[in-house]
Amino acid sequence: MKRIEPYKNINEAIESLDNGGRFYNILTKADDGIISKAELGRIAGLFSNKQTMILFLELAISELKEDKKKQLLSSLTDDLKSMYIQYAAQVLLPSEANKIGVLSKNTIITGIPKKVASKSDFNGFIMVPIVAGKVTTFTMIPIVDTYDVYEIKDNESSETFIIAHAKGSHKLPEKRIQVAGVLKELKSKKDEKTALKKYLEAVYFLQ
């Protein structure tokens, strides 16, 4: 998981994002007043993951005033504007995520995370793809085998929500932060046919 440092002002944001892309992006130019997918991908460190690119952009500009944010978004190419609309994040409290959160969407959750102490404290299962040649099948494994698992809660409710991120990555602080990623299914048993809960596969956080 990567910590995002939001831009403090519009000039900083434009200077960073209007960067010309990588050396092989011959159709993009730095400082031309237009921000393309290639330029966003360069600063986000991504090549083709459109959904994660937009999540990075949303967090990076989250502290700009609304008029400045609109100014920057007006500089996006048409295809990048379409991506921004398509992958716009749902912003939820932990107490809202299971009830109204939409699966597979970018999601930003604000609250105080606490790491689940041990595997015995949590037994949720996730579906993982297995590729054999041209055939892809799915198997259920405990979420704690793949991720570090946290429970996050807000001040408005005692309800918690599950946050998961790759083992060995940045440990989340136990204070009020924003965690961002994609909302996914969580099953309580290995043979469950229907997901009973959801979890956030976290990519970024702000503090």
Assign 189 a pLDDT band (cuts: 50, 70, 90): low
3-state secondary structure the chain: CEECCCCCCHHHHHHHHCECCCCCCCCCCECCCCECHHHHHHHHCCCCCHHHHHHHHHHHCCCCCHHHHHHHHCCECHHHHHHHHHCCCEEECHHHHHHHCCCCCEEEEEEEEEECCCHHHCCCEEEEEEEECCEEEEEEEEHHHCEEEEEEECCCCCCEEEEEEECCCCCCCCCCEEEEEEEEEEECCCCCCCCCEEEEEEEEEEC
Per the model's pLDDT, the better-predicted residue between 173 and 122 turns out to be 173
Span 116-141, mean pLDDT?
76
pTM for this predicted structure: 0.88
Residue 191 pLDDT more than 90? no
> Would you list the domain boundaries of the chain?
2-86, 90-206
Task: Judge contact between 80 and 40, C-beta under 8 A.
Answer: yes
Nearest to 193 by CA among 181, 184, 185, 201: 185
Residue 62 pLDDT more than 60? yes
Name 30's bridge partners: 19
Q: What is the pLDDT of residue 127?
A: 76
CATH 2.40.50.140 fits 90-206, yes or no: yes
